[in-house]
């Protein structure tokens, strides 16, 4: 049986394939920080978005 | 996560240094068994404590009692728990230490040290993890919030079948964490917050168009917050109402039987009063009926006989004394025969004939026969009245019998269920009706506010898009516009994925829980499990009806186990299952099925069972999976661990 994580990645692929790497990274950041440190998670996400844009993410 | 070794010293009943090597690999089951109180729960607590520090269902002393007896502040008792586990190629050694002593007043002071962690990398090098990162690291491997779904006491586990808003919220939260949906939600919220901050950055204070848009956005955002807080307040009140309704339902269910008895008792009392009232009326009717009936039965006979005899006496055909005797005999016999038909040849007729023959001269025979015919006629006429009298008699008898039965029933019901309870029952029913009305009003109001909120959010979206376009038109704002566009797309995608995932998972969780439940209960009571979009469990019996109450402790445990195990399957968490008293409330049949099933649900399984649970049926099913067996023996106030032969 597919785990919920695998399903999420599949749904990212279906919904927005160009955003999949960024969304996966966002999920990793959220899993890493959990609910304990929202500020750090937001900062990491912002960095990830800036980084993705600098790599030429199609908008 | 794979558990490798647990060491305890001076921890609860484990005074001596005790270690357990966990089984993993092909034979992945570690079985620990002993009598009740032998130390299974202490071992379970040690595992939880060393990883998370806090214990969910225990806040007592952790150091061994005997070691504390002689401990003083200068010479304290010490204890420790150390756990070695493996995760993604890294080996972790975590330990916690305890120190404790007796105070002058006899109370115990116990302190625990910080958690220590030594990490062995795949290349064999060791690192000591900094103290402030250890908990984060453990939480990444097995988050504390979901540990109860992997390390649990099956006897005390949350009852997933019991209704209640607070419980529902707790389950929704836990499932979201186990299935990582909370990461999607947090990601969405964080991106929305980032976008909001970005839009408000003071890049455009000299741009009236952008400033105007930001003003609109701020206004709508304020309104959104207001409507959201209104909705939340209404939802909270509605939840409080529902919780109270559930409480009332439970309370009513618990007193329903007694209240029904109380109602019955009141009805019986009323009936008894009525019967007592009716009785004198029936007696009066009987007395009157008897008075009416007797002269009709006896009167004509006596009068006829008297007239005949008087006529004879006047003609000197019969002496006066014979008349008196005859009269007496006739009255006695008439009394005797008044309840039966006077048929020719019947014993009464023969008897009367004999009397008449013995008392009356031969010439009177014919007259006497006439008298007999007259008596027969009187009898026929009096039957109707006699029947009335009999009916009254039966009614009185019935009344008295019913009074007796009613009194017996009242005695059986007793006095304790009277009055107050019934009043409480009625008052609770009234309160529930009122709460339902209020809840329905609030739910309607939330619906209306929801429509308003969606409208505001759509307007907000539109203004945000306009703002992004305004930014995009200006070279210096292009980066903001790009970032905002990506953020909006990310948050929209995360929201869509969450909704789709919740739907998929609710279906699959229901199917998986049904599969597991039916494997545990086989030909049992349940037909299926359904899981709603907020992950609330619904059980259906074999007739397809939703089961809301009245299921046994064993059925509740089987259903809860099925739900938890289904969730761990779907969560994809690579964690061991450690179950204390897994078979506690299950029937023999369910124990057998559970044993067959449980070892396939995890890469590593640790079962802590009582000797009673570990019967021949369970043993037969588990035998080929047991990698390590430990027998717990409680001797002289401490637990000794013996390696068994089944591993």
Chain A residues with CB-CB distance to B under 8 A?
1-8, 11-12, 15-16, 19, 22-23, 26-27, 29-32, 34-36, 38, 41-42, 45-46, 49-50, 52-53, 57, 59
> Are B487 and A3 inside 8 Å of each other by CB?
no
CB B42 within 8 A of CB B119: no
Between CA B355 and CA B336 the distance in angstroms is: 14
What the block records as the tokens of B125 is 């090098």
* Mutation site for B-interface testing, chosen from A1, A3, A4 by largest number of B Cβ within 10 Å: A4
Residue B348 confidence (pLDDT):
59
Q: Note the helical H segments in B315-364.
A: 320-337, 347-359
> Are A30 and B140 inside 8 Å of each other by CB?
no
Chain A residues whose beta carbon lies within 8 Å of the beta carbon of residue B139: 34, 36
> Are B187 and A29 inside 8 Å of each other by CB?
yes
ipTM at complex level: 0.95
Could you tell me which residues come within 8 angstroms of residue B147 by beta carbon, excluding any fewer than 6 positions away? B48, B51, B52
CA B364 to chain centre: 92
Chain A residues whose beta carbon lies within 8 Å of the beta carbon of residue B566: none
- How many Cβ atoms sit within 10 Å of the Cβ of residue B44? 23
- In chain B, the N- to C-terminal Cα span, in Å, equals 21
> Are B186 and A49 inside 8 Å of each other by CB?
no
> Are B493 and A49 inside 8 Å of each other by CB?
no
> Are A8 and B497 inside 8 Å of each other by CB?
yes
Task: Find the helix or strand (DSSP H, E) in which B469 lies.
Answer: helix B420-473
Chain A residues whose beta carbon lies within 8 Å of the beta carbon of residue B565: none
Can you state the percent helix, strand and coil of chain B, rounding each to 5? 60, 15, 25
Token look-up 């092909």 returns B26
Question: Within 13 Å and on the Cβ side, how many CA atoms surround B261?
Answer: 16
The C-alpha of B140 sits at a distance from chain A's nearest C-alpha, in angstroms, of: 6
The C-alpha of B193 sits at a distance from chain A's nearest C-alpha, in angstroms, of: 8
Between CA A11 and CA B338 the distance in angstroms is: 100
The more confident residue out of A48 and B586 is A48
CB B566 within 8 A of CB B558: no
Chain A residues whose beta carbon lies within 8 Å of the beta carbon of residue B184: 8, 27, 30
Token look-up 């009185």 returns B396
CA B590 to chain centre: 20
Question: Within 13 Å and on the Cβ side, how many CA atoms surround B486?
Answer: 28
Token look-up 């014919």 returns B366
CB B422 within 8 A of CB B266: yes
Q: Nearest Cβ partner of B497 from A15, A32, A41?
A: A15
What the block records as the tokens of B563 is 């739900």
Between CA B289 and CA B293 the distance in angstroms is: 6
Residue B317 confidence (pLDDT):
62
> Are A59 and B482 inside 8 Å of each other by CB?
yes
Instruction: With both helix axes pointing from N to C terminus, report the angle between B165-178 and B208-314 in degrees, rounded to the nearest 10.
Output: 140
**B 114-133 near A (Cβ less than 8 A):** none
What the block records as the tokens of B203 is 């890049």
> Are A49 and B483 inside 8 Å of each other by CB?
yes
C-alpha triplet A36, A38, A44: angle, nearest 5°: 120
Query: What phi, psi does B599 have (nearest 5°)?
Result: -70, -15
Chain A residues whose beta carbon lies within 8 Å of the beta carbon of residue B496: 11, 15
Q: Nearest Cβ partner of A15 from B136, B496, B508?
A: B496
CB B121 within 8 A of CB B127: yes
Q: Note the helical H segments in B127-206.
A: 131-141, 165-178, 181-200
pLDDT grade, residue A59 (50/70/90)?
A: very low
Residue B187 confidence (pLDDT):
95
CA B524 to chain centre: 18
Helix/strand number for chain A, H first, E second = 3, 0
Q: Nearest Cβ partner of B501 from A7, A16, A46?
A: A7
Chain B residues whose beta carbon lies within 8 Å of the beta carbon of residue A21: none
Q: Nearest Cβ partner of A45 from B194, B501, B512?
A: B194
> Are B497 and A41 inside 8 Å of each other by CB?
no
Residue A21 confidence (pLDDT):
93
- In chain A, the N- to C-terminal Cα span, in Å, equals 34
The chain-wide mean pLDDT, for chain A, equals: 87
Nearest CA-CA partner of B309 in B262, B226, B257, B367? B367
> Are B493 and A34 inside 8 Å of each other by CB?
no
Residue B337 confidence (pLDDT):
47
B544-583 tens-digit pLDDT: 888 766 667 777 778 877 888 888 888 777 788 888 888 8
Residue B621 confidence (pLDDT):
84
Could you tell me which residues come within 8 angstroms of residue B293 by beta carbon, excluding any fewer than 6 positions away? B382, B385, B386, B388, B389
Does B140 lie at the interface with A, CB-CB under 8 angstroms? yes
Chain B residues whose beta carbon lies within 8 Å of the beta carbon of residue A8: 180, 184, 497, 501
Q: Note the helical H segments in B474-587.
A: 478-521, 553-571
> Are A19 and B486 inside 8 Å of each other by CB?
yes
Chain A residues whose beta carbon lies within 8 Å of the beta carbon of residue B497: 8, 11-12, 15, 23
Between CA B244 and CA B640 the distance in angstroms is: 49
Chain B residues whose beta carbon lies within 8 Å of the beta carbon of residue A26: 187, 190-191, 490, 494
Burial class (CB in 10 A: 0-12, 13-18, 19+), B354: exposed
Burial class (CB in 10 A: 0-12, 13-18, 19+), B475: exposed
pLDDT beneath 50, residues of chain B: 295, 336-338
Between CA B165 and CA B238 the distance in angstroms is: 10
Q: Nearest Cβ partner of B512 from A1, A5, A29?
A: A1
Residue B527 vs residues B510, B539, B545, B624: alpha-carbon distances, Å: 12, 8, 9, 31
What the block records as the tokens of B469 is 């376009």
Nearest CA-CA partner of B477 in B217, B192, B190, B214? B214
> Are A4 and B493 inside 8 Å of each other by CB?
no
Can you state the percent helix, strand and coil of chain A, rounding each to 5? 80, 0, 20
- How many Cβ atoms sit within 10 Å of the Cβ of residue B604? 23
């Amino acid at each position: 049986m597919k785990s919920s994580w695998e399903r999420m990645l599949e749904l990212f692929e279906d919904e927005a394939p160009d955003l999949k790497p960024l969304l996966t990274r966002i999920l990793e950041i959220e899993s890493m920080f959990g609910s304990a440190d929202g500020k750090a998670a937001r900062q990491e996400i912002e960095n990830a978005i800036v980084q993705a844009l600098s790599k030429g993410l199609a908008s | 996560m794979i558990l490798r070794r647990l060491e305890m010293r001076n921890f609860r009943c484990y005074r001596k240094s005790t270690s357990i090597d966990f089984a993993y690999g092909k034979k992945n089951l570690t079985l620990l068994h002993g009598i009740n109180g032998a130390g299974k729960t202490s071992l379970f607590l040690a595992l939880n404590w060393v990883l998370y520090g806090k214990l969910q269902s225990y806040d007592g002393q952790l150091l061994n009692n005997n070691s504390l007896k002689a401990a003083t502040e200068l010479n304290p008792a010490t204890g420790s728990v150390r756990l070695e586990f493996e995760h993604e190629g890294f080996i972790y050694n975590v330990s916690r230490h305890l120190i404790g002593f007796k105070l002058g007043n006899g109370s115990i002071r116990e302190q625990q040290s910080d958690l220590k962690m030594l990490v062995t990398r795949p290349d064999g090098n060791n690192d000591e993890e900094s103290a402030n990162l250890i908990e984060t690291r453990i939480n990444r491997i097995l988050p504390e919030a979901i540990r109860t779904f992997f390390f649990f006491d099956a006897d005390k586990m949350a009852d997933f079948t019991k209704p209640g808003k607070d419980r529902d919220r707790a389950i929704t939260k836990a499932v979201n964490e186990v299935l990582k949906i909370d990461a999607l939600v947090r990601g969405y919220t964080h991106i929305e917050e980032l976008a909001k901050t970005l839009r408000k950055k003071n890049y455009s204070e000299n741009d009236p168009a952008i400033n105007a848009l930001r003003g609109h956005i701020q206004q709508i955002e304020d309104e959104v917050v207001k409507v959201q807080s209104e909705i939340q307040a209404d939802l909270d009140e509605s939840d409080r109402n529902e919780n109270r309704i559930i409480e009332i339902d439970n309370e009513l269910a618990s007193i329903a039987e007694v209240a029904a008895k109380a109602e019955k008792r009141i009805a019986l009392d009323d009936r008894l009063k009525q019967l007592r009232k009716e009785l004198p009326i029936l007696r009066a009717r009987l007395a009157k009926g008897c008075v009416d009936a007797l002269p009709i039965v006896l009167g004509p006979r006596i009068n006829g006989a008297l007239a005949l005899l008087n006529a004879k006496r006047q003609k000197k055909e019969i002496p006066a004394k014979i008349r008196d005797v005859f009269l007496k005999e006739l009255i006695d016999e008439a009394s005797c025969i008044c309840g039966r038909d006077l048929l020719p040849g019947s014993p009464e007729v023969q008897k009367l004939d004999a009397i008449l023959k013995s008392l009356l001269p031969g010439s009177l025979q014919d007259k006497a026969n006439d008298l007999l015919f007259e008596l027969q006629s009187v009898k026929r006429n009096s039957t109707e009245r006699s029947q009335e009298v009999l009916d009254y008699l039966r009614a009185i008898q019935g009344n008295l019998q019913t009074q007796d039965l009613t009194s017996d029933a009242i005695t059986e019901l007793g006095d304790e269920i009277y009055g107050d309870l019934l009043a409480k029952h009625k008052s609770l029913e009234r309160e529930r009706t009122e709460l339902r009305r209020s809840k329905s009003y609030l739910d309607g109001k939330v619906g209306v506010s929801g429509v308003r909120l969606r409208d505001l959010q759509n307007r907000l979206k539109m203004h945000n898009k306009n703002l992004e376009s305004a930014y995009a038109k200006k070279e210096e704002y292009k980066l903001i516009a790009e970032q905002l566009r990506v953020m909006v797309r990310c948050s929209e995608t995360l929201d869509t994925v969450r909704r789709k995932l919740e739907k998929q998972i609710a279906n699959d969780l229901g199917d998986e829980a049904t599969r597991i439940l039916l494997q545990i209960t086989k030909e049992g009571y349940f037909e299926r499990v359904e899981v709603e979009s907020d992950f609330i469990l619904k059980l259906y019996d074999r007739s397809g009806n939703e089961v809301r109450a009245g299921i046994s402790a064993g059925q509740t445990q089987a259903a809860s186990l099925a739900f938890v195990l289904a969730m761990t399957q779907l969560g994809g968490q690579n964690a061991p299952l450690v179950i204390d008293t897994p078979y506690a409330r299950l029937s023999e049949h369910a124990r057998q099925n559970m044993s067959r099933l449980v070892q396939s649900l995890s890469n590593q399984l640790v079962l802590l069972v009582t000797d009673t649970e570990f019967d021949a049926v369970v043993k037969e099913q588990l035998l080929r999976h047991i990698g390590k067996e430990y027998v717990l023996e409680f001797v002289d106030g401490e637990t000794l661990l013996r390696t068994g032969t089944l591993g």
